[in-house]
Chains A and B, each alone.
Chain A
Amino acid sequence: MTTKAIREGRKPMTKALAAKKGKAFVMSFFRYVLIICLSYLILAPILINISTAFTNPRDLNFPSSVWVPARVSIENWHVSMLMLNYSKALPYTLWFTAVVALLQTVSAMLAGYSFARLKFPGRSIFFALVVFTIMVPPQMFMLPQYLFFKEFDIFGIIRLITGKPLNLLGSSASLFVLNALGMGLKSGLYIYIFRQTFRALPHELEEAAYIDGAGFIRTFTGIVLPSAGPGILTVGVLSYVWSWNDAHYVKLFDNTNVNFLMLAYNKATGSVDEALSSISSKVPVNYAFLLKSPVYESAIAKTAALLVFLPLVVLYLIVQRKFVQGVERSGIVG
């Protein structure tokens, strides 16, 4: 047997090899079991919500209608979309979040590069302050920041020109300013990631650029940024996703912005009852009897949650392969 195996160019099946193979099999078996269990833990709530969302409103209480809806219907989706004003809110939120994420990424990128490569006195102290900003929950500064945007002014410049400070409350400009100045949600973390990314790049590229006479901006945009692609992708995706989900800053500074999905969602699900009755004229007549039922309201709330969440899933599925690779290569580890 052994000789035959050797003749055919295979490794002979010795006892040690068999043991090794068995061990490898057991290990990979356990790996799959754990991965599947944990994936179930993550996916189950989402899947069950999807199933509820597709259930015909009349079947919501049916005990037989678990996981697979007894009668499939898109009625819940229709009502939830009306409730969130989805056709208007979705494009607006896509655009708004993109601007916020862009501003946040750029400001974090500049600061990160400064901390990684450009030595100046006091740099380490400022970096310690960046870490400090990560530690303080943004909710703590609500009142001072609120007042700041109510009388927005940078060192008295605007007062000098127009005679009175700007009131940025209730406009998206407040959020743009916040993120452009690197103080948005989790900006400190992004600065940290960018610092690690830029530090992991080889010095030689930049040195060569300087010797060839490129200035600092040219080196940054022409040499550093193209090689830091994975890091930029990582931060861009995180920033987009978290800005999308952030209700705190928008609620505080731009409360009337009903077109921001997360805010619309919070308002609608705060009292599904009211939200439903306000659109009741548009709800199909034959479901009117459901309007006061708590099961129906919870199904609508779940569908609304999915509506807010789904665009992110689509986005994530588009970038996920690059995102995961990017994390590996971005040198977050440094």
Chain B
Amino acid sequence: MKQDRKLPRERKRGWYYRLSFPKKTALWGVIFLLPWLLGFFLLFLTPMVELIQYSFHDVKIVPLGGVSKTPVGFENYRQALLVDATFAPMLVNTLTETLLFTPLIIVFSLLCAILLNGKFRGRTIARAVFFIPIIMATGLLMQRVTNLSGQMMGEGQNENVYGAETIARLIMQLGIGRELVQYLLDAVNNIFKIMSLSGIQILIFLAALQGISPSLYEVAKIEGATGYETFWKVTVVMVSPMIFTCTIYTLADLFMRSDVVEQVYTIGFRQSRHGMAAAMSCVFILMNVLVICIAALLIRKVVFYYDD
């Protein structure tokens, strides 16, 4: 009887209360995701589709609003890849530079994280300093504050920021060739570049190192592993999921800083060749996604997941 009396009231409280828990979860999942979904469709998917459309058209901005499109087929792609003198070399350049820098950044940031991990005097200050590149990471401020590349040897006013030039002059006076000096200066420049790009990666690796359970190191010690073995068989293995994350982040980050992005802006907004810019964007995005997917597949194979 009691059951009967309760039922109508339940019905009055509406359909939501009759949903099962998993269904409610799914409903709230969609509700929580709603802002992002809206943004994704309006500000990512639609622009993406439009971009692909533009790349097959000759696009002109109409002063009153909107754009006029005349279909040209693959002409834009042909122009971008075969006729334009700068785009293809730039693409290759970006690709090689990215593939060269990514492993360097990963190794460097892992080493930095190991340096900063553990207890030592002044580690709070050291960590604070190492994360400063994150503050300067995006935007043009970085270039202005450092303004290093190309200024040490020759062009522009020499800033001699690190005193590297003084050392370089000294080495040259010792009778060692200019090439070697140039190489050393490049190395300083490159270390700076790597350093400035690896803030987030150091952060992620440091968090990963903190997360390794000390008992693993204890076991390794009891089993008589040397420091070298412990590093390769415990530390590297345990942070390997983060190597995966960091590699993908680094690749995406480096692509974002590529000259191609600047070139697309110039061609699109300065020269008003929007179709051509769209074609370049499509080629570039395709390259990004392909490279990142290949890298992801390759690394997935060697990553070790503790939980699985």
Contact = CB atoms under 8 A, between A and B. Distances in A.
Partners in one complex: yes
Interface stretch (B84-92, B123-131, B175-183, B215-223): B123-131
A35 B116 CA distance: 8
Given A118-B28, A143-B54, A246 B139 contact: yes
B46 A148 contact: yes
Contact of B135 (A142, A210, A309): A309
B277 interface: yes
Contacts of A233: none
Interface string B222-250: 00000000000000000001100000110
Interface of B: 21-22, 24-30, 32-33, 35-40, 42-44, 46-48, 50-51, 54, 59, 65-67, 112, 115-116, 120, 124, 126-141, 144-148, 157, 159, 161-162, 191-192, 195, 203-204, 206-208, 210-211, 241-242, 248-249, 252, 255-256, 258, 261, 264-265, 268-269, 274, 277-278, 281, 284-285, 288-289, 292
Contact of B138 (A107, A136, A245, A332): A245
Contacts of B192: 41
6 contacts: A45-B147, A130-B36, A135-B288, A180-B35, A247-B139, A320-B127
Given A114-B32, A114-B33, A119 B26 contact: yes
Contact of B144 (A295, A305, A320): A305
A308 to B, nearest CB: 6
A210 to B, nearest CB: 8
Q: Which of B35, B112, B115 has the most CB of A within 10 A?
A: B35
Nearest to B118: A31
Contacts, number: 247
Given A137-B256, A140-B281, A333-B204, A114 B35 contact: no
B165 to A, nearest CB: 12
Contact of B51 (A118, A141, A242): A141
A79 B92 CA distance: 44
A321 B50 CA distance: 45
Q: DSSP majority for the A interface? A: helix
A208 interface: no
B32 A45 contact: no
Contact of B145 (A46, A247, A320): A46
A120 B19 CA distance: 14
A328 B195 CA distance: 21
A145 B207 contact: no
Given A305-B145, A309-B141, A31 B130 contact: no
Contact of A154 (B42, B206, B261): B42
A49 interface: yes
Contact of B26 (A35, A120, A312): A120
A112 to B, nearest CB: 9
Given A114-B28, A129-B40, A216-B24, 14 more contacts: A40-B162, A132-B289, A134-B252, A137-B261, A143-B54, A144-B51, A181-B36, A181-B42, A189-B249, A241-B137, A321-B124, A323-B131, A324-B131, A328-B206
Nearest to A189: B249
Contact of B32 (A113, A130, A294, A323): A113
